[in-house]
Structure 1
Amino acid sequence: MARAATTSDVFNAIAEPRRREILVLLRAGERPVAELALELGIPQPGASKHLRVLREVGLVRDRKAGKQRVYGLDARGLRRVHEWTGGFEQFWNESFDRLDAYVQDLKRERQE
């Protein structure tokens, strides 16, 4: 089965580390593309390419501000990711409960 294009699937889009970095930077508020590129240490065309992908999957929005293009986070697009990862919450909670029980057993053994 062919892999989904990054521009149509939010999971593939955020699989790229730079795109996740962009989302983290945009959590603090809107930023111009030039500022994002500088912060990421990549050329502006590279930042623009990543931002285009994120926009096409609905994770960022953009607007013109004079001659600049300003990007902002649209976290609604992360709902599918949140719902999918939330399905693993019970697994992790049970794992942490088992770990806690193990640590408590070790503490009791040391005290005896």
Structure 2
Amino acid sequence: MTTRMPSDVEVFAALADDTRWTILQRIGREGASASTLASELPVTRQAIVRHLSVLENAGLAESERFGRERRYTALGVRLSEVGRLLESVGKGWEARMSTIKAAAERDASH
């Protein structure tokens, strides 16, 4: 069976939700079950499970079964990829701004 790599759009859509972002930060520090997360956040356990599913489908989290519970952790590799992508976008933006600034300065001096 082939595992499909989530698109960048799916990843950023998963990160765009405040609750998912909070959950991802939490499971990035230490793995946790949906029940543990529900006890820490003002969200129902069912909602937590849905958010965790979105994070897993986006390749940002994984789960492992421990007895009757699933423990969720953030996937650092995928988060590092997201960081590199954002860094490259930022560098491209900075280069464009430098070009615009230089053109504006050139036009202002003429």
Aligned to 1:70, the other structure's residue is in SS state: strand
Aligned to 1:9, the other structure's residue is in SS state: helix
The ranges of structure 1 where at least 4 consecutive aligned residues each deviate by more than 4 angstroms after the TM superposition are none
What letter matches 1:68 in structure 2? E
CA distance in 2, matches of 1:68, 1:89: 43
Once the two structures are superposed, what CA deviation does each residue of 1:46-68 show, in whole Å capped at 9, x if it has no partner? 00000000001111110111111
Residue 80 of structure 1 deviates from its aligned partner by 3.6
Identity %: 26
CA distance in 2, matches of 1:20, 1:63: 20
Corresponding residue for residue 46 of structure 2: 45
Structure 2: unaligned runs, 5 residues or longer: 1-6, 98-110
What's the RMSD between the two structures over aligned residues?
2.4
CA distance in 2, matches of 1:9, 1:78: 13
Q: Aligned runs of 1:1-112 on 2, under 5 Å? A: 9-87=10-88, 88=90, 91=94
Aligned to 2:47, the other structure's residue is in SS state: helix
CA distance in 2, matches of 1:11, 1:46: 19
How many residues are paired up?
Answer: 87
What letter matches 2:23 in structure 1? I
| Cα distance change of structure 1 residues 89 and 45 upon mapping to structure 2, 3 Å threshold | same
Structure 1: unaligned runs, 5 residues or longer: 1-5, 95-112
Q: TM-score, normalised by structure 2?
A: 0.69
